[in-house]
Amino acid sequence: MALEPQQLTGPGRITSLYLASRAGDPTFRVAQARAVTGRGLVGDRNYWAGEGPRPRRRGAGRASGICDVSLIEAEALDALDREHGITLTPAECRRNLISRGIRLNPLVDQEFQIGTAVLRGLRLSEPCARLEQLVRPGLIRGLLHRGGLRAEVVRGGIIQLGDQILPLPHGTRPLLAPAAPA
C-alpha cells in the first residue's frame, strides 16, 4: 500500500530532473544538473545569467519573488490521478525536481541538501491557471497545497537522479568541501 503524502517523513529521493531552455518550451529530462548559488540550474529557463545578484521582486503572481529550483512530490501527481482522474506526467508539471518519500511543504523556510547542493525552501508552488488550461479543468483544485515548492540555491553543487533530500537542522550547514565556483 502506498503511503499517503502526509505520512512521508523522508529522507526522500530525486526520481526525475527536468529543465526547459526557455519559458514555454517543453521540459527535457536530464540525469544531473548543476545548481549555482543565487542563480539556479544551469541550462534552465529560470537560471539567472544577468550581471550581479538576481533581482528580488515583490508582489503576487508568477513573476514575483525568486525561484532558482522548483520541486514537486511524485505522490502528489499520483494523488491527482487517483483522486481527480487527471494524469499529469513529471514533464508536464514543469517542475525541475520530482521527489518521492518526503513531504516538501514543511521545507518552506528550511535549508535542505540534495547531492552536493544546499537549497532553501521559499514558498509553496501553487498550480497556475495556465497549467490548468493546458492539461484539464480541475487541476488547480487537485494540486492545491500539493503543487510543490519553490527554492533558492544557497550553496551550489551537483544534483543527480537518486540523490537524497536531507533536511538540515536550522542554523547548520553540512561539512562538505565547498562546491567549485560557477
Domains of the chain: 5-50+65-167 (2.40.33.20)
Q: Which helix (H) or strand (E) holds 6?
A: none
Its pTM stands at: 0.83
Condensed to tens digits (0 to 9), the pLDDT of residues 89-121 reads 999 988 999 999 999 999 999 999 999 999 999
Angle at 120 (CA atoms; ends 21, 40), nearest 5 degrees? 20
pLDDT of residue 45: 92
- Lookup result for grid cell 543565487: 38
At residue 65, the pLDDT reads 56
- pLDDT tens digits for 53-78? 666 654 444 444 568 999 999 999 99
Amino acid (one-letter) located at 79: A
